[in-house]
Structure 1
């Protein structure tokens, strides 16, 4: 196996004993992740599946080469015919060569299908590696977390034990009250219960660590540095990176392409097959003749099936449905990645703020606890006050530990959601010679398949709430209204009719605006709509022609200066990427059908259609919507959006004359 990480440790990993004794050697997060990924059964299984897929491609490619067979036989033969009955010994051999000349592109499509299947397996290796790395990292952080929580619980138990012993001695000497001893004993029992709970939690995560790593962790582990160096600047950037890099989506896209090639291959039975055959046959005592019989044949053979019980048509329909399955799985991958990554990214700023708040809380409670302890010693505070403060401090410290490690976990989950966790740790997936051709990977247009739509931020605007609170105070002072009444009655309602419009911040780049219901702007008279429809139809046809001709200058001229790309990138970046894609492709074919024109407002129309895009490295069918706006005397594209379209079972059925085989 050539899963090459920085310094291979497979041999070492196999020699490490699996035990329960704690290792005394510090293990970094990078070391633990490296070891887990190298020995994880799911990663190894996906790796072997990837290697097997490469062999499957070679099997299919063998169909291009001639097949040579030889047979030889020896035996006895009895010949009976009118007036003759004879037994004789016969022997002979036959050599045949069969070269496929044309098979309806079955071999070509099979090679392409299996090549894309190999690409799918490659991305599944990366997916399994990222998943194993994330699981190892989470386990590492869990061990650190529960070691710290157990340490806090131990200190809490010791503190309660000290208080209990002091009160017990006071009561025994007659200087203290027995009820205080009972109260302290109750709190001590709770502290012991919490300690046992944390110890049990630590035991469980250590068992999981041993299962993954193969050895027990050190007694004291340290939290790793947070992966913040390559952290994306915005949620939209993170989602766009994921749609370019994430192996789960890459595997789903490659699987769609594999299903398309399988569907293309189902056309082969409807076409004739042409083979070139050579046969050399030599027999002794053939049909009783005492001389040798030699038969040499060279021929071109055409084979065409006229009826096969409808099996070929059924296979074609099944393959079309399998492509629909692949499209559905691709859509699921898009949604899952967007959701998981958006949540992980949003957790980072949330936990940063939470950690700052908790640190302030811990500092304040520590000062309060120290003051209460001094006051308790001189009789100014009750035991209940002191013990409540100790418990409050323990809760705050636990929250601080949990928030600190959850923040590290949020960074890890964000990197894993983008598909860059191993890269961010300085590790590699596979050796360069085992990776597929970069040209195949670069041909995937992920941003068109999965527009980077992100939900709005889940962070609370504390400043706005603070300003609102101060405004209520000022209003109460000015009007002479009690503060409680002002706070309860002057706030904004929890719902608002303007809320849907106000919430359209992030992630609306690919959504087309709805037709205003109460707009005062005048719209085009209905009598003029057919002319506009013809005009926009012509603009779409010209746009498609420029795209298919890879004429970037003409193609880019169809886009307005106000054009906003759907994935949230700036116009210059979009133009650079699109020009590079057009120049790189050897051929592009775009077909559009079912054009529908929708009036959106004054001088604003949307044209929706089904688009079939085919290039030398990629093929897909989508529903696209172009929003056209009148700029001067020209109609230009201001926005575009795409969504996948399902492929009916008979979409790729052969044309007339192919029957229902």
Structure 2
């Protein structure tokens, strides 16, 4: 996690004063987000569990010591009747030579589990980057809405002044003045709503990023990384999405768990070394020393069917992991198709909405000219202004939605972090184990 924090700090330090790019916001969010910290801790714990399992490859050495009172009446049938202070000191070393490949399977199982958590960590980071992108673009959109609404209020206030002047000259009626007065009130109400929406987005931005939004810069999508077709998008997603890779690693881990449980069907072979240095043992005063090297074999002949049950349970967990992988692929495919559809259709919408804005502005200018000539009513002019306002608002809304759809498409194909040039820490990028 320190690498992430260093990344964020370096990116923020290189930014122009009072400006904040999308990439900087993503880096800041990753260094402060508790979900990322939680997943990183989980990943690190599995790495330590793996290291603990590797300890079974090495010999275990135990030192034993004891001292206490011993009352012996008989020793091997001979009457001794001695009270002595028994002293024991011994060392035992055991090296496992064979355990049915249980240690190998357990180490590999934990390796796949750690790999799954690593990939889940990357997936969480990708999803966090998308959340930050969404809030960042929504904040830009809220700012654009606010500016548009402010211009709309100023425009209506100017019309009010013009109508007020005309009314004083007897060129407009009181009803015209009342009508524009109502429209000014409506536009100001919309301005308050726009300000409230902007403040809500600023709060959400601070919660996610950990910084106030200052001088946001319009982000640019790396168009070269966007897929050329829906099928290309699906292929990229199935090959690159970290959630699918994590599901595959979970399935491999379940397979290794099954192999670990099957190890109990085999005998266990150990090499044992014992050395003892005792005093006053068994009622016989004096030293009692021995040393031995033994090759021991243990074979569990019957344990109530527990080994078989555990083996069958692990087999079902493997089936569960396979089903989860299939479901993950279905969900990723569905998400990719939805992202592609939104990106493509909203791109087509933009051209039509731009045409709508141009036409609405031309109609407004024409209505104003006709109003000055007495051929249009004030209501016609005000309605035309509303049309222009709504057309511009719809264009802004779709423009930023289409931008977000581009980033969603990159997220669906597992390329969002790469497209932003966000360098994840080296430990995140290094595979724990390769898939079989």
Query: Which TM-score band (shorter chain)?
Result: over 0.9
Q: Does 1:410 pair with 2:409?
A: no
- 367, 371, 374: which one pairs with 2:369? 374
Does residue 48 of the first structure (1) align with residue 11 of the second (2)? no
Tell me which residue corresponds to 2:7: 8
- Does 2:122 align with 1:129? no
- Asked whether 1:289 is paired with 2:284, we answer yes
Q: More helix by proportion, 1 or 2?
A: 2
How far 1:12 sits from its partner (Å)?
A: 9.3
Aligned residues of 2:22 and 2:217 also touching (Cα < 8 A): no
Query: 1:360-399 residue pairs with structure 2 within 5 A?
Result: 360-399=355-394
Among 183, 207, 210, the alignment partner of 1:187 is 183
Gaps of 5+ in 2: none
1:31 to 24, 28, 37: 24
1:152 counterpart (148, 152, 170)? 148
Q: Distance in 1 between matches of 2:31 and 2:344?
A: 33
Give the superposed CA RMSD. 2.3
Please name the residue that 1:436 is paired with: 431
Compared CA separation, residues 387 and 176, structure 1 to 2 (3 A): same
Could you say which structure has the greater relative contact order, defined with CA pairs below 8 angstroms and 6 or more residues apart? 2
| CA deviations over 1:173-213 (Å, ceiling 9, x no partner) | 54421222222222222212222222111111110111122
Could you tell me which of 62, 70, 73 is aligned with 1:77? 70
Question: Is the CA contact (8 Å cut-off) linking 2:81 and 2:283 kept in structure 1?
Answer: no
8 Å contact 1:10–1:38 — kept in the other structure?
no
Among 229, 232, 248, the residue aligned to 1:253: 248
Q: Distance in 2 between matches of 1:405 and 1:137?
A: 11
Q: Is the counterpart of residue 138 in structure 1 residue 134 in structure 2?
A: yes
Which among 153, 163, 167 is matched to residue 163 of structure 2? 167
SS at match of 2:224: coil
Counterpart of 2:239? 244
CA positional deviation for 1:221:
3.0
Q: What runs of 5+ residues in structure 1 fail to find an aligned partner? A: 16-22, 444-617, 619-661
| Cα displacement string for residues 23-53 of structure 1 (whole angstroms, at most 9, x for unaligned residues) | 9711111111122123222122222222222
CA–CA separation in structure 2 for the residues paired with 1:40 and 1:291:
68
Q: Is 1:271 aligned to 2:228, yes or no?
A: no
TM-score, structure 2 as length reference: 0.93
SS of the aligned residue for 2:324 comes to helix
Q: CA deviation at 1:432?
A: 6.4
Does residue 345 of the first structure (1) align with residue 340 of the second (2)? yes
- Report how far residue 324 of structure 1 moved: 2.0
In structure 2, distance between residues paired with 1:181 and 1:143: 36
Distance 1:251 1:34 in 2: 23
- The 1:200–1:433 alpha-carbon spacing in structure 2 relative to 1, beyond 3 Å, is closer
CA positional deviation for 1:314: 2.0
1:4 offset after TM fit, Å? 5.2
8 A contact 1:136–1:212 mirrored in 2: yes
For the Cα contact (< 8 Å) 2:30–2:125, is it kept in 1? yes
Report what 1:103 is aligned to. Answer: 99
Task: Rate the CA distance shift 1:10–1:75 in 2: closer, same or farther, 3 A.
Answer: farther
Provide the rounded CA distance (Å) in 1 between the counterparts of 2:8 and 2:217. 22
2:393, 2:344 → 1: CA distance? 20
Q: Distance in 2 between matches of 1:430 and 1:419?
A: 17
Rounded Cα–Cα distance in structure 2 between residues aligned with 1:365 and 1:314: 74
- Equivalent residues in 2 for 1:217-236, closer than 5 Å: 217-218=213-214, 220-236=215-231
Q: Does the CA-based 8 Å contact 2:11-2:24 persist in structure 1?
A: no
Specify the alignment match of 1:530 in structure 2: none
Question: 1:150, 1:96 → 2: CA distance?
Answer: 78
Q: How much has 1:157 moved relative to structure 2?
A: 1.6
1:318 is aligned, of 309, 313, 337, to 313
3-state SS of 2:133 partner: helix
Whole-angstrom CA distance in 1 between matches of 2:399 and 2:41: 39
1:121–1:3 distance in 2 versus 1, CA, 3 Å: farther
Distance 1:402 1:227 in 2: 21
How many residues align? The count is 431
